[in-house]
Amino acid sequence: MKRNVAIQAKADAESTTVMKVIAPMKEAGASPSHIARTLDEMGIATSRGGKWTAMQVSRVISRSGTEGRST
């Protein structure tokens, strides 16, 4: 259980950081696929050091609680 709590805490912290990059793109209407490609092009790795997928972007947006918001 402690490991899961630590993993969740790390994911929360990282999603907060990456949302500073994702949020403006999402607000501009970019798709999760486009955001994933952009993050990769910017050299921003996932928490495990890999490339981004649309699903990972969607999960970060969900974790931040902004998935239903629009400007």
- How far is residue 60 CA from its own chain's centroid? 3
Euclidean distance between CA atoms 63 and 26, whole angstroms: 14
Euclidean distance between CA atoms 19 and 66, whole angstroms: 10
pLDDT truncated to tens, each residue of the chain (71 aa)?
A: 677 888 778 877 888 889 999 999 999 999 999 999 999 999 999 888 899 999 999 999 998 886 655 44
Euclidean distance between CA atoms 53 and 59, whole angstroms: 10
| pTM of this structure | 0.78
Q: What is the pLDDT of residue 7?
A: 77
Q: Where in the chain are the domains?
A: 33-64
Q: What is the pLDDT of residue 67?
A: 61
Q: What is the pLDDT of residue 56?
A: 95
